[in-house]
Amino acid sequence: MPCYATISATGSYLPEIEISNDLLRQQLSHVPDFVDKMEAATGIRKRWYAPSDWSTSDLAVPAARQALERAGREPSDVDLIILGTDSPDFITPATSVVLQEKLGAKNAGTFDIGCACASFPTGLATAAGLVMANASMNTVLVVGAYMMHKLADPTDPTIFFYGDGAAAAVVTSAEKPGFVASAMLADGSYHRHWGIFAGGTTEPADEASVREGRTKVRLVQRYPPEVNEQGWPRVVERLAREGNFTLDEVDLFIFTQVRKVTIEHVMTQLGISMDRTHMIMEEMGYTGSACVGMALDDAIQKRKVRPGALVVLVGSGVGYNQAGTAFRMP
């Protein structure tokens, strides 16, 4: 009997410290009109921070617990934890193993996925493949978590984007397909555009790199708009070919939650009305590695995703990496 994989439940977590655009206007007063321009382009009006003594794994715990509760699973039921983030607790060890300890998932193996904001759809596709290929693997916890504001210079204008948050999904074995297809793209020629460029083996952290800000996340060169405006439709079209479905059959499209105008452009390019997408960045900010999962969970809780719905998830992040996956919801 064939084994399939499905998303049994989702969860998310948004911390409680509100950082409004008005507050950032004061913080970024040395960059006149920047917040106004970014608000118009992105739709972001606020973002939320966790307490200053929290780490990324602390954000992941409540999202993971919520997803497991909704799936009717205990932490001890988890066979594997896959965690995606580019704001890890440490360079090493993996943040997923820290989450395992905090969650009490004593029977789970773990690994991290590090393709920035493409991590959540990549994690879902990886989990589905492992479940379908291993009869003994029945419950995989996929988590995306983001706390980039702690790795940013508070006077850097890009602080506008970063909000803290986490999302989780429980991927389980099933008797009929949930997972439909996956597609991935990358272009390493952009790897120097945006990142944290000191602290690894290329440039180990030292006094000079700290003083000059290279251990903080930095936008060195802007990505051209076509990276997402052309890349997201390519990912969607590949998913449709691989999954043998048409775009008209898709009930909901969710993209990286960074710029409202980009999502509008892509939906127009695909010939799809805006009521078949879902956005959360207006109220939650840009939550990076977590944003696709948080948007999916929000759409489910608001009943925009019905049983049997075909959902397409597309994420893109620095590097750059792009990934998409399609699931039919149980």
Residue type, 212: E
All residue ranges of the chain with pLDDT < 70 are 1-2
Residue type, 305: V
* End position of a domain, from candidates 175, 207, 241: 175
Place of tokens 């890890």: 88
**Side-chain half-sphere of 311: how many Cα atoms within 13 Å?**
28
* End position of a domain, from candidates 153, 175, 197: 175
- C-alpha torsion 268→274→276→277, nearest 10: 90
* End position of a domain, from candidates 124, 158, 175: 175
Asked if 37 and 133 sit in the same domain, the reply is: yes
Asked if 200 and 306 sit in the same domain, the reply is: yes
Asked if 40 and 131 sit in the same domain, the reply is: yes
**252, containing H or E segment:** strand 252-255
Asked if 16 and 160 sit in the same domain, the reply is: yes
- Peptide bond connecting 121 to the previous residue in cis, omega within 30 degrees of 0: no
pLDDT for the residue 1:
54
Asked if 269 and 310 sit in the same domain, the reply is: yes
Asked if 192 and 152 sit in the same domain, the reply is: no
Q: What is the pTM of this model?
A: 0.97
Asked if 305 and 165 sit in the same domain, the reply is: no
Asked if 168 and 91 sit in the same domain, the reply is: yes
User: How large is the C-alpha radius of gyration of the chain?
Assistant: 19
Asked if 136 and 195 sit in the same domain, the reply is: no
Place of tokens 């999916």: 296
60, 160 in Cβ contact below 8 A?
no
Asked if 12 and 137 sit in the same domain, the reply is: yes
pLDDT for the residue 312:
98
pLDDT for the residue 3:
86
Provide the number of structural domains found in the chain: 2
Gap between the Cα atoms of 22 and 11, Å rounded = 30
Task: Give the β-pairing of 109-113 and 194-195.
Answer: unpaired
DSSP string over 37-78? HHHHHH---EEEE--TT--HHHHHHHHHHHHHHHHT--GGG-
CATH no. for residue 92? 3.40.47.10
pLDDT for the residue 50:
98
Asked if 81 and 32 sit in the same domain, the reply is: yes
Asked if 218 and 132 sit in the same domain, the reply is: no
pLDDT for the residue 225:
84
pLDDT for the residue 232:
98
Its domain, for residue 222, covers 181-328
Q: Which two tokens stand for residue 204?
A: 């180990």
